[in-house]
Chain A
Amino acid sequence: MPAVIEVQNLHKSYGDTVAVDDVSFTVQEGEIFGILGPNGAGKTTTVECVEGLRRPDRGEISVLGLDPQRDRAELTQGLGVQLQDGELPNRLKVGEALALYSSFYRAPADWRALMDALGLASKSSTRYGKLSGGQKQRLSIALALVGNPRVAVLDELTTGLDPQARRDTWQLIEDVRSRGVTIVLVTHFMEEAERLCDRIALIDTGRVVAVDTPDGLTERVQTEQRIRFRPSVPFDETLLTSLPDVTGVIHRGDVVVVTGNDNALNAVTSVLARNNIVAQQLRVEQASLEDAFIALTGRHPETGQHASQSRPGQD
């Protein structure tokens, strides 16, 4: 598949502050490519250079074979952009906004169909100021797609959406991709990146730490798994510590936490079964994308409330 976006050694500073130090990556046609990193990592600056909103200090960028600075006018026809925090006039109606923005393009999408697809049809004559946060966000996505772009850059797509609206939006993005649109997704939200992205560029302090599939990233840090359970009866720890696949056993109150390699679960459950010990509330914790993130960047993603959702057994 041909590359639709190529970024080579991108560097951008604001005064003394280096926003993007050295970023390179390639986005293939038809994929959902994630740019993942903590706040202030340089994600937004990177995509703003790709969109042509900012002029890089150094480095090469090619989008659909165009130079984002030199060929801006042509680029905007093929690149749809959903900006973080972009609003509209409060008194502009949903239908008017879509009709207006579709008139900017040579070969726009059918804005009424798009309005339907985003669940905004009933809001056609509602003013922007009266929309809920989720509806505003969906309208913003619709405006990014109304030009029928070949590439869409979506920045912090689901921030501010409730869980249901977030899942609906993810479905929508998958639908858009299945129509052949290449998608660049900027996010600091692990579950979103894990669920949607074919490949992820992990960015930290203005540099690319790794580019890989979500599974590839987690495999890099998956050294051991943790097995937690509440034994039905007390037992001798050496039963487990003697197993070659187990590296450690800890008691936390009446809960036992066993660490070990990929085979540890099998070994532990067989030993327990042989000794007629029932492992109640058995949970296995595997490395998640978040663990990979922390291991590769040495910091916790600043997602706050959402980061722990996908990880069972964390307390």
Chain B
Amino acid sequence: MSVTTTAAPPTAASRPGLWRLTVTELKLFIRERVGPIWGVGFPLLLLIIFGSIHSFNKPQKDFGGATTLDIYVPVLIAFSIAILALSALPMVLAGYREKGILRRLRTTPMGPVRLLTAQLAVNFAVTVVVVIVILVVARLGYGVALPKQLAGFVIAVLLAAAALLAVGLFVAATAGSGRAAQAIGTILFFPMMFFAGLWVPIAQMPKLLRYISHGTPLGAAVQALQRASEGHWPHPQQLLVMAAYAVVFGLASARLFRWE
């Protein structure tokens, strides 16, 4: 038996492996609890609390006739994306590097790049599920209309997830340990959520803060989602801001990411 006769394209063996790897990462994501509790459960809980506040369901002149809940649904989607990308993803990846798991994968036909692929796939999939659940609960429970410009909404969700996951990858690339990654992610989370309008809706921010918000990935995301909810295409600037974060931080991560 010679080596060459048994050789097959490496991808032939790794396709079922990649599927199993992704499923395993999803199981671990659920067992790890940070993602399910803070990225899925908490935004839903906030939705239920906000939905139960009577005044939040009344049209507001300040919001051009939209209800406060209408304004908050995109913010809660941004909240979920931010937790998954800034907290769950960097913690897992930096922890895997710290524990030598990425190094171990380098010695197998799977390789660590496919682990990143699996992790991104898991986070994208969970994001899509959370967005659908939030929209359905808001619609059925509290009468919030589904997005009127659906394609624009989907594009905005995917770009927002891509932008935040790129930032999360960057955190994982530069942080020394799982704990450090989680700490950095948390520090980034609060200002990003501020500019996404979690505490003060973007429309009610002072002019300077509103400008800054336009330049942050989640500020752009929330405004794009709101426009799409109301039936307009997201403003090109909003999509460009998110795409720019995705590309810049994605490339920087690719350059800086170390397997060990």
Query: Quick check: A89 and B101 within 8 Å, CB to CB?
Result: yes
Q: Is A16's CB within 8 Å of the partner chain B?
A: no
Shortest distance in angstroms between B47's beta carbon and chain A's nearest beta carbon? 28
Shortest distance in angstroms between B220's beta carbon and chain A's nearest beta carbon? 34
Residues in A neighbouring B31, C-beta threshold 8 A: 91
Shortest distance in angstroms between A44's beta carbon and chain B's nearest beta carbon? 12
A interface residues, tally (CB under 8 Å): 32
Shortest distance in angstroms between A3's beta carbon and chain B's nearest beta carbon? 14
Shortest distance in angstroms between A56's beta carbon and chain B's nearest beta carbon? 16
Bound CA–CA A87/B108 (angstroms): 15
Residues in B neighbouring A143, C-beta threshold 8 A: 104
* Interface pick from B3-11, B59-67, B72-80, B124-132: B3-11
Given the interface contacts A73-B10, A104-B13, does A87 sit within 8 Å of B21 by beta carbon?
no
Given the interface contacts A74-B3, A78-B3, does A104 sit within 8 Å of B14 by beta carbon?
yes
Given the interface contacts A86-B103, A99-B20, does A104 sit within 8 Å of B110 by beta carbon?
yes
Query: Quick check: A104 and B3 within 8 Å, CB to CB?
Result: no
Q: Is A221's CB within 8 Å of the partner chain B?
A: no
Q: Is A85's CB within 8 Å of the partner chain B?
A: yes
Which residue of chain B lies nearest to A106 when distances are taken between CB atoms in the complex?
Answer: B13
Shortest distance in angstroms between B162's beta carbon and chain A's nearest beta carbon? 25
Query: Quick check: B28 and A87 within 8 Å, CB to CB?
Result: no
Query: Quick check: A104 and B100 within 8 Å, CB to CB?
Result: no
Complex partner residue of B104 from A73, A74, A78, A83, CB under 8 angstroms:
A83
Q: Name which of B3, B104, B107 has the most chain A CB atoms within 10 A of its CB.
A: B107
Q: Name which of A64, A104, A143 has the most chain B CB atoms within 10 A of its CB.
A: A104
Query: Quick check: B100 and A74 within 8 Å, CB to CB?
Result: no
Query: Quick check: B103 and A53 within 8 Å, CB to CB?
Result: yes
Say what secondary structure dominates the interface of chain B: helix
Query: Quick check: B99 and A105 within 8 Å, CB to CB?
Result: no
| Per-residue interface assignment for chain B, residues 1 to 44, with 1 indicating a CB less than 8 Å from any chain A CB and 0 otherwise | 00100111010111011001100100110011000000000000
Shortest distance in angstroms between A107's beta carbon and chain B's nearest beta carbon? 8
Residues in B neighbouring A91, C-beta threshold 8 A: 28, 31-32
Bound CA–CA A88/B14 (angstroms): 20
Given the interface contacts A77-B109, A103-B20, does A83 sit within 8 Å of B27 by beta carbon?
no
Which residue of chain B lies nearest to A143 when distances are taken between CB atoms in the complex?
Answer: B104
Interface size class of B (residues with CB under 8 A): 20 to 34
Q: Is B106's CB within 8 Å of the partner chain A?
A: yes
Shortest distance in angstroms between A48's beta carbon and chain B's nearest beta carbon? 10
Q: Is B170's CB within 8 Å of the partner chain A?
A: no
Query: Quick check: A86 and B17 within 8 Å, CB to CB?
Result: no
Complex partner residue of B99 from A65, A81, A87, CB under 8 angstroms:
A87
Given the interface contacts A78-B3, A86-B103, does A103 sit within 8 Å of B17 by beta carbon?
yes
Bound CA–CA A91/B31 (angstroms): 7
Residues in B neighbouring A88, C-beta threshold 8 A: 99, 101, 104
Bound CA–CA A64/B1 (angstroms): 12
Bound CA–CA A65/B228 (angstroms): 59
Near B by CB (< 8 A), chain A positions 87-106 give 87-89, 91-92, 96, 99-101, 103-106
Residues in B neighbouring A87, C-beta threshold 8 A: 99-101
Query: Quick check: A83 and B101 within 8 Å, CB to CB?
Result: no
Shortest distance in angstroms between A73's beta carbon and chain B's nearest beta carbon? 4
Which residue of chain A lies nearest to B259 when distances are taken between CB atoms in the complex?
Answer: A53
Near B by CB (< 8 A), chain A positions 180-225 give none
| Per-residue interface assignment for chain A, residues 33 to 71, with 1 indicating a CB less than 8 Å from any chain B CB and 0 otherwise | 000000000000000000101000000000011100000
Residues in A neighbouring B14, C-beta threshold 8 A: 104
Shortest distance in angstroms between B109's beta carbon and chain A's nearest beta carbon? 5
Residues in A neighbouring B32, C-beta threshold 8 A: 91
Bound CA–CA A88/B105 (angstroms): 11
Query: Quick check: A66 and B3 within 8 Å, CB to CB?
Result: yes
Bound CA–CA A103/B110 (angstroms): 9
Bound CA–CA A86/B27 (angstroms): 21
Residues of A within 8 A of B (CB): 51, 53, 64-66, 73-74, 76-81, 83, 85-89, 91-92, 96, 99-101, 103-107, 143, 147
Task: Please give 20 more A-B residue pairs, beta carbons under 8 A apart, in addition to A76-B107, A76-B111, A96-B24.
Answer: A51-B107, A53-B107, A64-B3, A73-B111, A74-B3, A76-B109, A78-B3, A79-B107, A80-B107, A86-B99, A87-B99, A87-B101, A89-B96, A89-B99, A100-B17, A100-B20, A103-B20, A104-B109, A106-B109, A143-B104
Q: Which 9 A-B pairs have the closest CB atoms?
A: A87-B99, A81-B107, A73-B10, A91-B31, A86-B100, A106-B13, A104-B110, A103-B17, A104-B17
